[in-house]
Structure 1
Amino acid sequence: MRVLIVEDQFYSRMVLKRLMKSYGECEEVTDGKAAMDAFRRAWTSQQPYDLILLDIMMPGVDGQQALRQIRDFEMSQGVERSQLVRIIMLTALGDEQNVKKAMYDGGADAYLVKPVHVQRLNYILTELGFDPIEQAEIKQS
């Protein structure tokens, strides 16, 4: 599994990377523009991400804009709905407007309110069909 973490706060990126390392290979960027660049690079190299953890509030291109650009790119490539990259939006604001915009208008798969709780993250990942790497596989890496 390939994961892209998009978060402008260093500490939050490190926490997310630590939480996600049992699920697969993680890359990290700090804003929406860098997220789009990484997403396109991964797509072009035929190593697309399986999951993107995308912060909503970032400088420059924010998470809502990046989400829209990712979904527009996938549509332009003819990606079927069942094959779209899974995107979990991250927000410090659990307000209805941000959630509605990400989930219904933007096509996000889920959202998490920060600080991220391990149990909630694992529940969402399970619901999206992701399983942690077996411990034996981690030791071999």
Structure 2
Amino acid sequence: MRALIVEDEFLSRKVLKSFLMSLFEVDIVVNGREAIEAYKLAAEEGKPYHLVLMDIMMPEIDGIEALETIRRLEVEMQVARSKIIMTSALDDPKTVLKSFHEGGASGYLVKPVDKEKLFKELERIGLLKQ
């Protein structure tokens, strides 16, 4: 399985990769624009991402906009819907609702993300069997 980490903070990228590398082939990008490009390329190559961990607050294109664009691409390109978990330092109910209801997120984690919370979320969305 493939995973894409979308995170502008170096330490968060490194920690998330260490959590996922035993379960997924992991790619990393640093903003929403790169996430859209990586997602599109992976789908075109016939190797779509099963999981995307997407930070919400990033430069260039934020995570919510990137999420909405990826959901449109899935329909246009007729690829299976990826599980997309949004991550944010903000525990703001408005942001959570927007991620789920408008963007179609699969999950939401508040940073800092720890391994136990991440694995519980992966299990909840069907990407990890415990």
TM-score, structure 1 normalization:
0.88
Gaps of 5+ in 1: 133-141
Per-residue deviation, residues 38-69 of structure 1 (Å, max 9, x unmatched): 00110000000000000000011000010010
Asked if 1:130 is matched to 2:102, the reply is no
Superposition CA RMSD, Å:
1.1
Equivalent residue for 1:105, pick from 102, 107, 113? 102
After superposition, where does 1:1-141 map in structure 2 within 5 Å? 1-79=1-79, 83-131=80-128
Residue identity matched to 1:103 = F
Aligned-pair identity in percent equals 44
Moved over 6 A (4+): none
- Partners of 1:92 and 1:8 lie apart in 2 by 13
TM-score, structure 2 normalization:
0.95
SS of alignment partner, residue 53 of structure 2: strand
Number of residues of Structure 1 aligned to a counterpart in Structure 2: 129
Answer with 1 or 2: which has the greater Rg.
1
Gaps of 5+ in 2: none
* CA-CA distance at 1:78 after TM superposition: 3.7
